[in-house]
Amino acid sequence: MHLAILSPTIFESAALLNHLEQHFTLEKGVYKKQNLSISLSVCGVGLVNTAIHTSRIAQNDSDLMILIGLAGTFNRAFEIGTVVNVTEEAYGDLGAEDQNGRLLSIHDLELIPADKPPFQNGKLINPSAHEFSFLPKASSISVNKVSGSKQSIELIEDAFAVDIENMEGAAFFQVCLSQRKRFLQLRAISNYVEPRNKDNWKINEALVNLTDVLVNIIDNLVLATSS
């Protein structure tokens, strides 16, 4: 079984890389242990970088592609540090701005029909997400600019009823769905979406939890592929 893991930055996957270097054998850029092989790569920040990189990785033989990273949450039911399984994505700032500042999405503008594949009612939905039911599920939007002011946050919350926001997920979802790849997106909550205040962020805690979840998944895959 081959697992392809992508992260927007090396910062978000550094601890996982350290784990792989300690417990796996590196052969031609691929980490191997028994019948499991893992490739780990940095896709770059943002939708365009992610789309380009995911398209390239999707051409290779992989049984599961995983995008990992940090995220901010609108949903106060999620504690900071929680690792979530993103089940659905949407583009959060692709479209036009109305006179009152409200976003008119590409589907509102009828530029792309809301149910034209791979979209379902304007959403990109992961059909494989249910396979990882041990993690809390989250809906997400992907944006080019993360929310940092009261006004922009209110506009987003008015336009989308979602749990988190990130800068890469929708592109990853769309490529994987289009290429019929089995995939998963894991996000660790580093902060609540509120007027920007980095003092409230808990990045290290979120990354520790993200790495722990990934190591657990990898260990289980090693066992499953060995039996």
Q: What's the predicted TM-score (pTM) here?
A: 0.95
68 contacts: CB under 8 Å, gap ≥ 6? 5, 6, 7, 12, 13, 16, 185, 186, 187, 210, 214
Q: Is 26 helix (H, G, I), strand (E, B) or coil?
A: strand
Q: Where are the domains of the chain?
A: 2-226
Euclidean distance between CA atoms 10 and 53, whole angstroms: 14
Q: Supply the pLDDT for residue 225.
A: 87
Would you give per-residue pLDDT tens digits along the chain (227 residues)? Answer: 999 999 999 999 999 999 999 999 999 999 999 999 999 999 999 999 999 999 999 999 999 999 999 999 999 999 999 999 999 999 999 999 898 888 899 999 999 999 999 999 999 999 999 999 999 999 999 999 999 899 889 989 988 999 999 999 999 999 999 999 999 999 999 999 999 999 999 999 999 999 999 999 999 999 888 86
Q: Are strands 2-7 and 64-73 parallel, antiparallel or unpaired?
A: parallel
Query: Rounded to the nearest 10 degrees, what angle do helices 47-58 and 169-178 cross at?
Result: 30
Output the CATH code of domain 2-226.
Answer: 3.40.50.1580
158 contacts: CB under 8 Å, gap ≥ 6? 102
126: tokens are 């992961």
Query: Rounded to the nearest 10 degrees, what angle do helices 10-23 and 203-226 cross at?
Result: 40
